[in-house]
Amino acid sequence: MLNIIDLSVRDVLQGLNLAVKPKELVLVVGANGSGKTTLFNTILGAVKPTKGKIVVNGKDVTNIPQYKRVYWISSVLQDPRSGSIGKMTILENMSLAYMRRGYKRISNKIVNYFKEKLSILEMGLEYRLSERVENLSGGQRQALSLTMSIADDCNLLLLDEITSALDPKSSAMVMKITDKIVKYENKTCLLITHDIKHINSFNGRIFEMKNGKLVATS
């Protein structure tokens, strides 16, 4: 599903290799400044590698611009406000996420599909489609971003420090929802964090970022 081959980015990543199988969860941990976010942004296409290849679902995306990688890759970032538009409704945000891959029309069938995805959260958001997203709490908004990331049936889900801007209670809730979504949707997922507590939240391979490379810990 995801193959990173001899990837280098300036003096941050050095000859990094990683193979993630379909429907596998891989957790990348490491201290702030270790290169985790650089890896994330390079996979997304926001950072250009100095050497190496990135292959997603058999497609070499190394030289494909970021805006076109949304056909294969969805992401959720640190700030709950970055993944959704506050002035728009839950339905409008879900619709935008769904149309990233070129879908044009939002039918009643698709709205019901959105409700099904939102029901995974067990927050009742499927009954609040007409509500503005700015009225949601930080934890609810991040949970919505997670649901939006799977709305378009992407191949690869990248999660970067998704609880760092949340309080401990909301953080625990979002990690529980993340685990549920990954299992329920059978997604291939790369989760990046500096919080060692997250290791106990998931069943998957764990790597530590050290000196620009990934070292397997389990």
141, 80 Cβ separation under 8 angstroms: yes
* DSSP 8-state class, residue 137: -
Distance CA(6)–CA(75), nearest Å, equals 23
Q: Give all strands of the β-sheet with 25-29 in edge-to-edge order.
A: 73-76, 156-160, 188-193, 25-29, 205-210, 213-216
Residues ≥6 apart with Cβ < 8 Å to 53? 3, 4, 5, 6, 7, 60, 62
Distance CA 218, CA 10 (A): 28
Closest by alpha carbon to 166, among 195, 187, 191, 190?
A: 195
Query: Which option is the CATH number for 23-34+64-216: 3.40.50.300, 3.90.920.10, 3.30.428.10, 3.40.47.10?
Result: 3.40.50.300
pLDDT at position 92 is 96
Segments making up each domain of the chain, as ranges: 23-34+64-216
The residues of the chain scoring below 70 in pLDDT are 101, 196-202, 218
Q: In this structure, are residues 13 and 212 in contact, taking their beta carbons and an 8 Å threshold?
A: yes
pLDDT digits (tens, 9 = 90+) for 100-139: 767 778 899 999 999 999 999 999 999 999 999 999 999 9
Quickly list DSSP for 178-200: HHHHHHHHT-EEEEEES-GGGGG
In this structure, the dihedral spanned by the alpha carbons of residues 169, 173, 28 and 52, taken in order and rounded to 10 degrees, is: -120
pLDDT value of residue 200: 66
Residue 152 has what pLDDT? 76
Contact (CB, 8 A) for 91 and 132: no
pLDDT of residue 53: 97
